[in-house]
Chains A and B, each alone.
Chain A
Amino acid sequence: MTATVLVALSVFGACSVEMVEALTIVMAAGFTRGWRSALEGAALAVVCLAILVAALGPALVHFIPINVLRLVVGSLLLALGLQWLRKALLRASGYRAKHDEDAIYRREVERLAGVPRASTGRDATGFVISFKGVFLEGMEVVMIVLTLGLSSGRLLVSTAAAAAAVVVIGGIGVLVARQLSEVPENAMKLGVGLMLVTFGTFWAGEGAGISWPGADLALLILIALYGAVALLAYALLERGRGQTVGAGAA
C-alpha cells in the first residue's frame, strides 16, 4: 500500500513537471501556427509514448530477472532523482535561475512567428514542433513510468498516474491558457526528486542483495531522512548565498 501510493505520487509529479514544459511548447505552437496542427502533433507524440510503454514494459519484465532489473532501474532512478533534487535545491536557493515558462513561451512564439506558413491545410512547422516538444519531454516520463512500474510490479498504477497527470495538467493548461509560470514547478521537481532518490536507493539496494528492515515501510524512513537532508542542505545553501551576496554588496 505504501509503495503503491508513493509510486503513483512519484509518477504523477514527474509527469506533471514534464507536462508543464511540453505544454508551453504546444501553447506556443497553437497560438502562432494554429491549434489543429499543434494538437495533432501533441496527440501523435502521446500515442507514440504510450506504444513505447506498452511494448517495452512487458518485454523487459519477461526477459530480465527481477533482481537485475531492480539493480539497473534503481541505479537509473537514483542518478535521475539526485539530478532533479540537486537542480531544484540550487534553483530554490538562488544559485541557478528558475525554469521560466513565460520566457520559454515568448522565445518559442518569436521563433515560430518568423517561419512562413502554408495558406491552407495542416501547418507542418506547428505539427513538428508540438510533436517534438511532447515526445522529448515525454521520454523522461516513459523512463520513470517504466522504471517505477516494473521495479514495484505496479506498471498499471504507474501508467494510470501518468495518464492522470496528462489529463489534469492538460486541463489546467486549457483553463489558464498561458499562465503556466504559476505552476510551482520547482517545488514539484524537489518533491519528485526526493521520491526518485528514495525508490532508487530502495530498489538498487534490493537488487544488490540488501533486505531493508520493515520492507516497504523503509521507503517512508528513507524519504523522511532524505527530506531532512534536503531541508538542511537548502538552509546551508541559503546561508552561503546570503554571505556571498552580503560580501559582494560590502
Chain B
Amino acid sequence: MSLRRGLHTFGRFWWDFIIGDTPELALGVAVIVLGGWLLAKSSAALAVGLVPLGVILLLLVSLRRGARAG
C-alpha cells in the first residue's frame, strides 16, 4: 500500500513538474526538440534559427491560451 502511494506521489511529482496545467508546453517542447534533431542532420544552420523561433512561437501561443482562460 505504501509502495503504491509512493509510486503515485513520484508519478504525480513528474506529471506536475513536466506537464502541470500547460500540456501544450510539454508537447511543444517535444516537437521542437525532435524537429531540431531531424533538422540538425540535414541543415544545421536552419536548425540554429528555427529552434529558438519555435520556442518563441510556443511561448506566445501558450500565453494567448492562458490570457483567454484567465
A contact residues vs B (CB 8 Å cutoff): 71, 74-76, 78-80, 82-83, 85-86, 89-90, 93, 95-96, 139-140, 143, 197, 200-201, 204-205, 208-213, 222, 225-226, 229, 233, 237, 240-241
Contact = CB atoms under 8 A, between A and B. Distances in A.
B41 A201 contact: no
B56 A143 contact: no
Contacts of A208: 33, 36-37, 40, 47, 51
B25 A83 contact: yes
Nearest to B46: A210
B20 A83 contact: yes
B48 A212 contact: yes
Contacts of B17: 76, 80, 140, 143
Given A79-B29, A222-B52, 5 more contacts: A208-B37, A210-B44, A226-B52, A240-B67, A241-B67
Nearest to B65: A86
Interface in B31-70: 32-33, 36-37, 40-41, 44, 47-48, 51-52, 55-56, 58-60, 62-63, 66-67, 70
Given A74-B33, A204-B36, A237 B47 contact: no
A197 B62 contact: no
Contacts of A90: 63, 66-67, 70
Interface residues of B, number: 31
Contact of B55 (A76, A78, A83, A233): A78
A210 B36 contact: yes
B45 to A, nearest CB: 9
A213 B55 contact: no
A233 B60 contact: yes
A82 B29 contact: yes
A140 B17 CA distance: 8
A209 B29 contact: no
B52 A225 contact: yes
B62 A86 contact: yes
Given A79-B25, A210-B36, A233-B59, A95 B66 contact: yes
A226 B20 CA distance: 22
B7 interface: no
B41 A229 contact: no
B42 to A, nearest CB: 11
B51 A75 contact: no
Contacts of A75: 29-30, 33
A89 to B, nearest CB: 6
B3 to A, nearest CB: 19
Most buried by A among B37, B41, B59, B60: B59
12 contacts: A71-B37, A82-B55, A83-B22, A86-B59, A86-B62, A90-B63, A201-B51, A201-B52, A205-B48, A211-B44, A225-B52, A233-B59
Most buried by B among A205, A225, A241: A205
